[in-house]
Amino acid sequence: MEPNKIVQSIFARNYLSHLVPALMKIKENTSSTKDHNNISKNVKYEVDMAMVLSAQGFAWSNGLKVKLQREHVNNVATTSAIIESDINNEDEEKMKNLIGLVPGGEEICDEQVVNELESYIKCLQMQVNVLQCLIAETC
């Protein structure tokens, strides 16, 4: 098996080992309630947390975990990073946009942003693949 496939398999296994039990717990706890907004928030939290737990060791992963835990405790809706609107330098603006895309990007040095963004995007792609497989199995 090629290394990329091994990484994808490990990611998928770790992702599902967290997500499936969490979703089952949500289902059990909310079978009698009709609060779809709360259910939706809990599912989003667990999907994002499964991503964090499946891709540990990256700065974006640590940043996302801190953000999720803070928002989950405070029960605050997810917000995107605010980027200053009065940026004069186009290169600075591009870098700030990249930093805003990476969870915890504000704490990453500029030289690491591109590498962190690349790993974040790859993990997002693997997450989508796993979720598509789950949907295909349940339909």
The whole-number average pLDDT for the span 86-112 is 76
106: domain range? 3-78+89-138
**CB of 60 within 8 A of CB of 103?**
yes
Number of domains in the chain: 1
Is there a domain that residue 16 lies in? Answer: yes
Indicate whether 83 belongs to any domain: no
Residue 57 is assigned to a structural domain of this protein: yes
Task: Give the pLDDT score at 96.
Answer: 82
Q: What is the mean pLDDT of residues 78-105?
A: 62
Q: Is residue 43 part of a domain?
A: yes
Residue 51 maps to a domain: yes
Kindly report, residue by residue over 22-69, the tens digit of the pLDDT.
888 888 877 665 677 788 888 889 999 999 999 888 889 888 888 888
User: Model's pTM, two decimal places?
Assistant: 0.60
Segment 81-94 shows an average pLDDT of 53
The predicted-structure confidence for 105-114, as pLDDT tens digits, reads as follows 888 887 788 8
